[in-house]
Amino acid sequence: MGTKTPSRVTVSVDVHTPPRHTADGSTAHRQDGDSSNTHAPRPARPGVTPDTVDVDAIHHVPALTVGKIGTTTASIPPHTQTTLTLEQYRINATPTHVPLDANDLRLHKGRHYADLHGGGVTQVAVDADTGLYRATRSSERIASGPLLRRDPHTRVWHPLTDADTATFPLTEARLQPFRTELDFSGVEPGSDGLWHHDGKRYVVIAKGAYQALQDLEASTPGQPVLRIVKAADPVAADSTNIYHASRAGVSLAVTREAADTWVGVAVGLQGGMRRSAQARLTKDMLLERYHPISEAFQVMSQSHATYEQLWSKARELPDASDEKTRALIGLEVHLLKHIKLEADFVQSCVDNREWLIHLKTSGLYRQELHTFRKERVQSLNRLMVVMDLRVRPTIAALTFDSFRRSLTHLNKKLKLLDERQTVIDQILKDSRDSADEIIELNKTVPGHDQVNGNRLTLYLRLLSDNPEHPPEVGTQSLHAIKLLTADIDSIPEAEHPFALIYALDCLKEDKLHIASLATSSSPEKAGYIREILALIEPFEQRIESRLNQQYESWGGDTELPGLDQDIDFDFVPRQPATSETAAPPLPRKMFRTRQHGTYKVLIGETETAPDGNVTINVPDLFSPDAPPQRYEKRQGEWQPVRPAVAPASRPELIREANRLLEDVEVHLAEAKAKEARNEYPGEIIRYLGEHADHCSDQATALENSPGAAEDPVMTSLSRRLQAAGAALIRGGHTVQVRMYKNRQVLDIMRLNFLLDNAELTATRTVVRKPLGKGSKKSFLDVYSLQDRTGQAPLWEAHFHYDNEHSPALNFRVKGGHLKTLEQSRLGLESQRRDAGAGRPHLGIWRETFDGKTARKIFDLAAATPASPR
């Protein structure tokens, strides 16, 4: 049996009902039941007479009876709304003991009261928008009653009606917040009686200048209304000098009286609310509103015609001539002004959309707005082309001043590209099928990546002591950035991980090398170094992000590339977007080359000789017009083509050999110092490898010198040089092993290097420990990875399984993780939480196990029994 619900409940409450605004802008009380009770007089309480009424009292109202609502909707009376009139604010008690002040108000207990026509008083407060007094209640923070006007003869107050034209004087205090610094003394106003300056309009009141906008909604044929605004507020930015209530900012409505004096004017209806804009729109008003926009369009069209004329003249002038430079400067200035006109015009179209779609169809409005935005993008493209033409003669020389001028130019282009991208984003947001149009618009100008790549090249050149000879550092980064921004999408997808990982290592190595130069550089070069590091970092982050995305698409049996992975394949690059008529690009090869003990990945164009020998030409990214670096295959590896070297005499060979041998210990000591400074391992290996190569090359020169085989000194030196080179290589390997054992670094590729070099042991310490519940339940195996020397624990490998008896290699996809000893105590999601919270972390692809690495760990631990904990 169901519980019986009481049919009636009686509740006694004290209610002080606040007013609320109705849909038409009037104010109404909340009502329950019959609205006829709203104005019913309250019974007087014992001992209370009208003369002793407390105007601030909250009175007890009759009990509310809440009854069970019937099922017939017809029994429910429609909800009615009653416009709040002045009667609802009238207090039938006048504090006659309080005299009227100069404003014909009475001050009682800190509140102002106005005597009303017909008797009684009402509390009043100043309306912030109009400066007039409005009826209110003591419980209200913002006055909600009707506006009032004073009869100066009777000193009583009446409600302001629509027929009233409420004006008030413009005092200095009221005008001061809006006053500008402009002085129009001696300047004649325009035909409209306003002063015009820099596209804005101003009124002059008591010698002060104030920016003014036309308030079309408040204006009538007999009374134009302007809005005085603050120049810094968004509302003041309209290019057509029209007031839009939807834009932020304070304003003061003013009108001009017959005596040519300006007064404030109340623009509200009774109750202070404005009429609905749509309710007041007429065809004549729409056309009147459209007139400034039409004029702005005509100005913009004339500006474009002027651009065409200026461009046609400048194009015919001789290149690099002073006359052409002056013409391009004038054209550039004109385009800047034209783009400002376009931006203001488009913003005006957006601001006035609400009524423009009544003058035009909604579809036509969107089509025209789309066209105007595209034209703005094209104007920005034209501006950048003109800028390039203007500065080209001044930056051609290889000088430090030229590099600095180029940077200034590129920084300006970046700002234009940002503005351009904002417009493109707006186009794509409003029309997602515009992608093909955007591709066409992008064909004529370089993008952010190309500009930032050029900036990086210039900053690297500024690090050099000779402007004609760029520094050795940075070349790897330039190749890596070119790979990421220009070539990667043309490379077979299966090769992406290998290419990206090597590119990332190149960026990291350059970053550490360049950062290490800051301590010994001048303040000026230290500033260049900061700029270089800031430019490299976003590209580094993009490669990390791309590797993470690729990893997310891999299965658990996918093998990550090893550090010794060979790369050697051909591809055909895409046709450049900016050169449709150019010849098809030549096939390219991505290959790995060993230089100074480390491998680098490069991309070059292949050249096949008649005898079938293949040479790869890699361009000099510092000097694209310089001869490329050539590579040939020797002993199974791609190596630089060695230039012919003039033979040295026996004394010269012996002297150089002795010098190299003496420096071996110095180089080994320097490598340890670099390790102590925690420099990038690859840079240390490169440093030792470079000197090892010098020893090897000198040994070869000794062996190939005439009579070397019968010369015991030459033979001995050659053997010692070979041994010294091997010692340097071993030293680099030792440093690499030590640095790869850093407990705080999680990197599956480094782990593979240590496993392949038998530097680790593995022990399973947790066997299928159940974790979680329901769909999140898994079984955990934990392997401790220890340093073979001393058995100190370095990391832990965690593997999650769906079933307790699943084979070892059947761990969940993305369910195997390398963890630091600290992370292993924080739970499975600790690394991902770090990533989500923006805390320092490594890319997911660096910390997650692939099948090949997992098998190595399982095999290493197979002979050791599990030791559950």
- The reply to whether 513 and 608 lie within a common domain is yes
Number of structural domains in the chain: 5
Phi then psi for residue 47, to 5 deg, are 80, 5
Q: Whole-model pTM? A: 0.59
C-alpha 252: how far from chain center: 37
Domain termination site, one of 253, 280, 307: 280
What CA–CA distance (Å, rounded) separates 497 from 560? Answer: 8
What pLDDT shows up at residue 73? 32
Assigned token pair, 265: 């004017």
Full 3-state SS string of 477-541: HHHHHHHHHHHHHHCCHHHHHHHHHHHHHHHHHHHHHHHHCHHHCCHHHHHHHHHHHHHHHHHHH
**61 has a pLDDT exceeding 50:** no
What pLDDT shows up at residue 634? 82
Tell me if residue 209 falls in helix, strand or coil: strand
- The reply to whether 438 and 293 lie within a common domain is yes
- The reply to whether 789 and 816 lie within a common domain is yes
What DSSP string runs through 565-585? ---EEEE-PPPPTT-TTSPPP
The residue assigned the tokens 């009124």 is 203
Question: Does residue 612 belong to any structural domain of this protein?
Answer: yes
**556 has a pLDDT exceeding 90:** no
pLDDT digits (tens, 9 = 90+) for 582-598: 566 677 888 878 776 67
**202 has a pLDDT exceeding 80:** yes
Residue 850 near residue 817 (C-beta atoms within 8 A): no
What CA–CA distance (Å, rounded) separates 780 from 804? Answer: 9
What pLDDT shows up at residue 322? 92
pLDDT digits (tens, 9 = 90+) for 376-390: 999 999 999 999 999
Q: How many CA atoms lie within 13 A of 256 on its CB side?
A: 12
What pLDDT shows up at residue 859? 92
Question: Does residue 726 belong to any structural domain of this protein?
Answer: yes
Confidence of residue 750 (pLDDT cuts 50, 70, 90): confident
What pLDDT shows up at residue 35? 36
**373 has a pLDDT exceeding 90:** yes
For the chain, give me the number of helices (H) and strands (E)? 20, 27
What pLDDT shows up at residue 547? 80
Tallying the residues shown for the chain, one arrives at 869
**32 has a pLDDT exceeding 50:** no
- The reply to whether 271 and 294 lie within a common domain is no
- The reply to whether 311 and 271 lie within a common domain is no
- The reply to whether 302 and 171 lie within a common domain is no
What CA–CA distance (Å, rounded) separates 64 from 860? Answer: 82
What pLDDT shows up at residue 582? 53
Domain termination site, one of 239, 260, 280: 280
pLDDT digits (tens, 9 = 90+) for 560-585: 555 455 667 677 666 554 444 556 66
- The reply to whether 617 and 696 lie within a common domain is no
Pick the more confident residue, 642 or 375: 375
List the domain range (segments joined by +) for residue 666.
650-740
**38 has a pLDDT exceeding 60:** no
What pLDDT shows up at residue 317? 92
pLDDT digits (tens, 9 = 90+) for 240-273: 888 888 788 888 989 887 667 888 887 654 333 3
What pLDDT shows up at residue 786? 94
Mean pLDDT of the chain: 79
- The reply to whether 195 and 230 lie within a common domain is yes
**Amino acid (1-letter code) at residue 44:** A
Question: Does residue 630 belong to any structural domain of this protein?
Answer: yes
**49 has a pLDDT exceeding 70:** no
Domain termination site, one of 280, 296, 315: 280
Pick the more confident residue, 500 or 717: 717
What pLDDT shows up at residue 858? 93
Q: In the beta sheet, which residues pair with residue 323?
A: none
What pLDDT shows up at residue 2? 43
Number of Cβ within 10 Å of residue 844's Cβ equals 18
Identify the weakest region by mean pLDDT among 274-283, 595-604, 635-644. 274-283
- The reply to whether 809 and 854 lie within a common domain is yes
Question: Does residue 598 belong to any structural domain of this protein?
Answer: yes
Mean per-residue pLDDT for 294-299? 91
Question: Does residue 703 belong to any structural domain of this protein?
Answer: yes
